Structure 1
Amino acid sequence: MTDLTITRTLAFPVDRVWRAMTDPVALAAWFWPQRFNPTAEVDLRVGGRYRIDGPAAGMAVSGEYVTVEPPHTLVFTWVWDGEPGETLVTVELTPTAGGTDLTLRHARFPDDQQRDQHAQGWYDCLDRLPEWLTRSAG
């Protein structure tokens, strides 16, 4: 098994970043490119489920929340539609003087290739987050 860890420093308060990671309207707005026509469903509680669908791209991911500790820790399983295998994502948000440190750990990949494919996806996804946080101010 192999893991992936990505860290980002965001110039926004923890509560705003938490909302971006957990609110279905927010997730649909930034998680995947808008050309995917994304939608999101969130039942934010331990044992609750989520689903992020990109019908225009023919892809969706879903899973179950394992840990929900607002606004600092979110742990959830990750399963692509139509593919076997479940991985585990941990998001930790730490307040800083200038905003929030986000640490994302995606674990339990069966091999380096799958880890590296997900790394590219997470980098792309997290690159959209600061723009959404800026637009959603207020």
Structure 2
Amino acid sequence: MNNPAENTRTVVVEKVFAYPPEKLWRALTEPSLLAQWLLNNDFKPSVGQAFQFRADPMPNWSGIIDCEVLIVEPLARLSYTWNSMGLESVVLFTLTPGEGGTHLRIEQSGFRPDQEAAYKGAGYGWKNFVGKLEQVLEGDAA
């Protein structure tokens, strides 16, 4: 029998930030900071917590992403579902401290073969979001 997960793809974006894990963790988990680089949200870092990301609606899209927190390991791992427009995926952030900063790995998994546009869009989107995250970390707010 086929395992549906075997037929899915994952977007991976990685970057080393010149900041300690504590600073990155705040930007990943504090709703006001998260809104500055990702999307407006009602996020709470608690396993099982349902929340939404909200963007401006566009043609054929409500602008709402339904999520549920799956993993909260402070300063190390954060994961939640990311469901919108028929896409049911999982986002995982992994923080690894190292020389001169913190390595951040972002994985979004669960893209089916018929979701090519969503897969490509996520690759572009996460790279763009990481650039905004860098700007938030450079500011005094984080």
Give the TM bin, normalised by the shorter chain.
0.7 to 0.9
Write out per-residue CA displacement over residues 23-68 of structure 1, whole angstroms, 9 at most, x where no aligned residue: 1000111215xxxxxx221121110123221236652323101111
Percent pairwise identity: 26
What is the alpha-carbon distance in structure 1 between the residues aligned to residue 44 and residue 129 of structure 2?
A: 21
What is the alpha-carbon distance in structure 1 between the residues aligned to residue 140 and residue 65 of structure 2?
A: 24
Write out per-residue CA displacement over residues 91-135 of structure 1, whole angstroms, 9 at most, x where no aligned residue: 100111211100011111012612211101111111111111011
1:1-138 correspondence runs (5 A):
1-32=8-39, 39-55=40-56, 59-80=63-84, 83-111=85-113, 113=116, 114-136=118-140
Number of equivalenced pairs = 130
Which residue type is aligned with residue 86 of structure 2? P
User: Based on CA coordinates, which of the two structures has the bigger radius of gyration?
Assistant: 2
TM-score by length of 2: 0.83
Change (3 A) 1:137 1:12: farther
TM-score by length of 1: 0.86
What is the alpha-carbon distance in structure 1 between the residues aligned to residue 140 and residue 53 of structure 2?
A: 20
8 Å contact from structure 2 (residues 17, 103) kept in 1 = yes
Using the TM superposition, name which of 11-20 and 54-63 deviates more.
54-63
The structural deviation recorded for 1:137 is 5.3
What is the alpha-carbon distance in structure 2 between the residues aligned to residue 67 and residue 19 of structure 1?
A: 16
